[in-house]
Amino acid sequence: MSDMVEAFDLVIFGGTGDLSRRKLLPALFSGFAAGVVPEGSRILLTSRSGLEGPVDAWLKQIFAETEPACGQDEKALSDFAAMVQVIELGLVEGGKDWDNLTAILNAEPEHPIVHFLAIPPALFTSTCDLLGQYGLNGERARVVLEKPLGHSLKSARAINEDVGRTFGEEQTFRIDHYLGKEAVQNLLALRFSNILFEELWSGRTIDHIQITIAENQGVKGRAGFYEGTGALRDMVQNHLLQLLCLVAMEPPARLEADSIREEKLKVLKSLKPLDGQEIERNVVRAQYVAGAMQGEAVGGYAEDLNLEEPSNTETFVAIKAHIENWRWAGVPFYLRTGKRLPDRFAEIVIQFKNVPHSPHPAWGTNLSPNRFIIRLQPEDHLALRMMVKNHSAKGEALREVEMNLDVVDAGADAVRIGPYLRLILDTVAGDQSLFVHRDEVEHAWRWVDRIIDHWQDSGEPPLPYPAGTWGPYEAHDLMTHDKRQWFHEMGKRVQK
């Protein structure tokens, strides 16, 4: 978890692609403008076709499209552009372009080198083989693997083995940007530096846990990736299961990579496998159809991708999962993700049990359980909800209030590091605490593959849900059968 590092070289394979333009380059520029990315660092963007026009004009254009827009500081933009170089490079065969890349990197022999593979997984093997062939996998080199890591357990294992021929496990950084979010850092800090939370963090006091990643966008522009992948592979196998691990893991001996990964792996090994009828009862699979978003008509999944035939690719998944160990026995974890939902957010809700007895008759019908809320996007937010007496009401009426646990920056110049920048800096420093070990990837796939295999064997298509709704009714039913509710259905606003 390193914020300050020495000058480094970052090679972004797929450097002019979508991930680099939308996330990586804006994050790096913001860090440079804030003094976190050191001068003397170099950013090399590989591209099959190069770049038309000067780098600074291209950067200014893509930064203007980010939210919030960056790149308004002309001097900072000019200085940052001087660090950036675009290199035409093929990722299947070597040649003069690879000789050129090698010469550039060898010109600064003291710089750590980060190879960020922002490319399809099908190119991971050939790219890593070429990095090894040209000697770009030495001790100062690390490789970052962007998701998705495989399409199944078998393919993930193959990628891990192929990459492992060139880079050791200590050089391999499997990124999940949700783990770099500030709220996740605060979750770890609150859990493991406050005895108050640790004493409450188990099935003795917790009723259930909800983890939701909701998206209001559809899949337009992602046809090449999304069709045949779906929400389970795209979001559950990595993001949702990684968040579940951080919530459920035992306190690590130290907040360092090996200890954290060991505890996360124990959680994945303890996840109860779902089979047959359990999948039918505890997993909801759906695909959005035409509906309305903010009063405007929008098309369904098939229309967005111009599909001529029906598709079995799911855009929504809700799962009821259990962890079979002493801490979490009997506590359900509800996981949910979907596209074309009414709102965009990522949130963890820890709901505690109701009080066992209400000592006042006026309180009995007015009690809400305590809830700890960790919001990861669109903004970081930590809060604890509890009941207090309503001073403005007669009698003994209660009301729910929210205790804000957000950390206020110490000053106007305080630097907030976004998730991708945090993880890039950690990679430079060789800190793997917030990255995923190959064993975690494989155990997550093993759990998810059972669900995928069942869907394929059953041949049942996904349930439909109108765009702009919270998924099919069956997802609502998943909770109400247990006499529970999704947090968004409870009404999120409370009195201040």
Distances (CA, A) of 239 to 132, 212, 235, 298, 427: 30, 10, 5, 27, 19
Q: Are 385 and 368 in contact (CB under 8 A)?
A: yes
Q: Which of 288, 250, 255, 294 is nearest to 269 (CA)?
A: 250
Q: Which of 111, 115, 151, 239 is catalytic?
A: 239
Q: For this structure, is 481 an active site residue?
A: no
- Cα dihedral across residues 88, 97, 147, 42: positive or negative: negative
Q: Which of 94, 34, 44 is nearest to 421 (CA)?
A: 34
- Say which DSSP state 391 is in: T
Q: Which of 106, 109, 29, 10 is nearest to 69 (CA)?
A: 29
Token duo for residue 325: 């160990």
Q: Are 325 and 453 in contact (CB under 8 A)?
A: no
Token duo for residue 467: 């765009």
Distances (CA, A) of 230 to 166, 287, 304, 401, 448: 30, 9, 14, 38, 12
Q: Which of 78, 326, 348 is nearest to 213 (CA)?
A: 348
Q: Which residues are catalytic?
A: 239
